[in-house]
A and B are shown apart, each in its own frame.
Chain A
Amino acid sequence: MTTSLYGKYGGQFVPEILMPALAELEEGYQRYKDDPEFLKELDYYLKDFAGRETPLYFAKNLSKKYGTRIYLKREDLVHGGAHKLNNTIGQSLLAKYMGKTRIVAETGAGQHGTATAMTGANMGFDTVVYMGAKDIKRQLMNVYRMKLMGTEVHTVESGSKTLKDAINEALRDWVTNVGNTHYLIGSVVGPHPYPMIVRDFQSVIGNEVKEQIMEKEGRYPDSIVACTGGGSNAMGIFHPFVEEKDIKLFAVEAGGSGMTTTKHAALHSASLCVGEDGVLHGARTRILQDKYGQILESHSISAGLDYSGVGPELAYLADIGRLTPCHADDDEALEAFHELSRMEGIIPALESSHALAYVMKAAESGELGDVVVINLSGRGDKDLETVINLEKGGN
């Protein structure tokens, strides 16, 4: 009877109140996902609003230094500065077609909140974004961007005051306003059908890479590397390649300040690498938890990776050995942040810097092969304050 979709992972572990809404969402998605009018509008938004397709850039200086051909999928050039808009365009359109008038969303780094604010303003929704107090402090610019676009930003003071608590609060809002409201979840997490819907809307990334790499290299890459918090940019670039079994997929998690755990908190966010099976935010997946099943707070220098869970499909792909979970820590990410800025003139988001850092670490061993694609999921402007403060020695 279970609705698990990815091996033993996935499912719908939500309050009864939401079960009909999930059924309605799945029905709506199945009805419109191949609808010519819906697809035409989706294409229009992706091209003229988001600025797709994004380039697949050959990073010649990095390639030379690391002795392998490195390509960057430039999701940092998407309107708003990250891949998040791909998903919010898709889900906002879906909500519009389904007759919803209000959108709620959670945000960690503020990128998904910003992307939601953009489509919310453009398509005329009442938009509410929940954001942890700790994240609001480290991402003030994004908070202001959301407000500029008419979005109500609610500060979440409960729990660890980060992404997981923002998701709790967005779920509570949805439970209360389920009739007119669409919950626009920002990653491949949550109850079915969200992990599938978000993956599908983000797959535009991998689908573009398929054509672009054939043009440039005449073949598919040997490996694809993406940073992974909840995992939407990773699933977006991996999904179209999952059946290409020779291509190695690397999911780089945040190693934070160390791969250890105190009583109530992990010093990292590496739920694929070291998490255990559990149920969080509506899905069975791998999570960071204590021996009783209480969720541990996670840590990362990058708010967008700072999450105690991970998408259920990623947990499944890791279980069957189709992807390799790995991690880069705060310092390595920071170093990669500087190196890409200096060598290629591209300032990456701290999230994406984890993917870069892993390539820089692993290139020498040869495990990545001759052609590597890195998903450069976002740009680093939003992180400048964090980096400046770190370098001043503060926090």
Chain B
Amino acid sequence: MNIPDKFLELRARGESALIAYVCAGDPTSDATEGIVQALIRGGADIVELGLPFSDPVADGPTIQAASERALSAGMNSDKYFEMLASLDVEVPLVCMTYYNLIFKRGIEKFVLDCNDAGISGIIVPDLPVEESEELAECCVRNNVDFIFLIAPTTTEERINMILEHGSGFMYLVSRVGVTGARSDVAESTNKLLSRVKTNIPKAVGFGISNGKQAKEVVEDGADGVIVGSAFVDIIASGIDVNARLEALAKELKDGILSAKR
């Protein structure tokens, strides 16, 4: 299923999406399938799989450490596409990675590989809209959604430019900073949600780690809630991983479902 269809399905039920991020190959390639299935059992509607990069400047310590674990366990772009192609899942998969890995593989080839592996969308946190023309065109040609980030610092002019080029969903960054679990939801979230006026679904990420926060974000008007570091923390602990991932996904999805809109 692709991303727009997933959001249509959820909208028909009056639900917002739980979008779960984990780093592919963390801690090993063999672990990823089980992790993804646990997230889906818990209620994840879309799964983002990070393709780890050696220098992830938009990420906080949790995802940096996950990237290092995955890379030292041997993850690379070839294995990534192989692994994703072999996943037996119904939910849309999204590739999140840094631009140099796309550039080095060749933009066209990277997008074609996404397509072949059943990946529905791409997020590139270090590629602003000004530099994205070639990748954006390639994504359109190949029916891969190109998901852009919008930050609290993004100007109206830039929001409009991003809305013109983005598809799938808009990734609204809830706070100024890097990725990482936090205990509160930033006040800026509400304001940003109302500033971005579009029919494309709006998902909020950066800092969300529990059901209460997920509920708040949906009540603020989010069509999706993105959670990464809180899942990655569980993976890093190495203790009872899949059961706890499933439980956290369930807590988050329950939070989303309990929101009054």
Contacts and interface: CB of A to CB of B under 8 A. Distances in A.
Interface of A: 1-3, 11-21, 158-159, 164-165, 168, 171-172, 175-179, 276-282, 284, 287, 289, 291-295
A292 B154 contact: no
B140 to A, nearest CB: 15
A178 B153 contact: yes
A207 B177 CA distance: 40
Interface in B22-58: 53-58
Given A15-B58, A168-B55, A168-B57, A20 B130 contact: no
B131 A12 contact: yes
Nearest to B76: A292
A292 B105 contact: yes
Q: Which of B53, B152, B178 has the most CB of A within 10 A?
A: B178
B60 interface: yes
B103 A164 contact: no
A21 B64 contact: no
B100 A14 contact: no
Interface residues of B, number: 44
A378 B96 CA distance: 42
A154 to B, nearest CB: 13
A14 B126 contact: yes
B261 interface: no
Contacts of A171: 57
Given A168-B57, A176-B177, A287-B100, 20 more contacts: A1-B130, A2-B131, A11-B131, A12-B131, A13-B127, A14-B128, A15-B128, A16-B162, A17-B154, A19-B128, A19-B130, A176-B176, A176-B178, A279-B126, A280-B100, A282-B126, A289-B104, A291-B104, A294-B76, A295-B54
Nearest to B178: A172
A158 to B, nearest CB: 6
B150 interface: yes
Contacts of B173: 16-17
A177 B158 CA distance: 20
Contact of A16 (B55, B56, B151): B151
Nearest to A293: B104
Contacts of A172: 57-58, 60, 178
Nearest to B124: A13
B126 to A, nearest CB: 5
Contacts of A2: 130-131, 133
A75 B133 CA distance: 43
Given A2-B131, A295-B55, A289 B100 contact: yes
Q: Which has the most chain A C-beta neighbours within 10 Å: B54, B150, B153? A: B54
B100 A15 contact: no
A3 B53 CA distance: 24
Contacts of B151: 15-17
Contacts of B105: 292-293
29 contacts: A1-B130, A2-B130, A2-B131, A3-B130, A13-B128, A14-B57, A14-B126, A15-B149, A16-B153, A17-B152, A19-B130, A21-B153, A164-B55, A168-B56, A168-B57, A172-B60, A175-B58, A175-B177, A175-B178, A176-B176, A178-B153, A278-B100, A280-B100, A282-B126, A292-B77, A292-B101, A292-B105, A294-B53, A295-B100
A338 B115 CA distance: 58
A159 B56 CA distance: 10
A289 B55 CA distance: 11
A160 to B, nearest CB: 9
A277 B104 CA distance: 8
A159 B55 contact: yes
Contacts of A175: 57-58, 176-178
B60 A19 contact: no
A278 B55 contact: no
A12 B99 CA distance: 12
Interface in B71-116: 71, 76-78, 99-105
B168 to A, nearest CB: 16
Contacts of B53: 293-294
Interface string B114-151: 00000000000111111111000000000000001111
A3 B55 CA distance: 22
A158 B69 CA distance: 12
Nearest to A17: B151
A20 B155 contact: yes
Nearest to B134: A2
A307 to B, nearest CB: 12
A165 to B, nearest CB: 8
A13 B154 CA distance: 15
Interface string B237-260: 000000000000000000000000
Contacts of B177: 17, 175-176
Contacts of B154: 16-17, 19-20
B55 A12 contact: no
Determine which residue in A11, A15, A20 has the highest number of CB atoms from chain B within 10 A of its CB, and name it. A15
A11 to B, nearest CB: 6
Contact of A13 (B54, B78, B99): B99
Contacts of A176: 176-178
A258 B100 CA distance: 26
Nearest to A278: B100
A289 to B, nearest CB: 7
Contacts of A11: 131
Contacts of B126: 13-15, 279, 282
Nearest to B162: A16
B211 to A, nearest CB: 26
Nearest to A3: B130
A168 B100 CA distance: 15
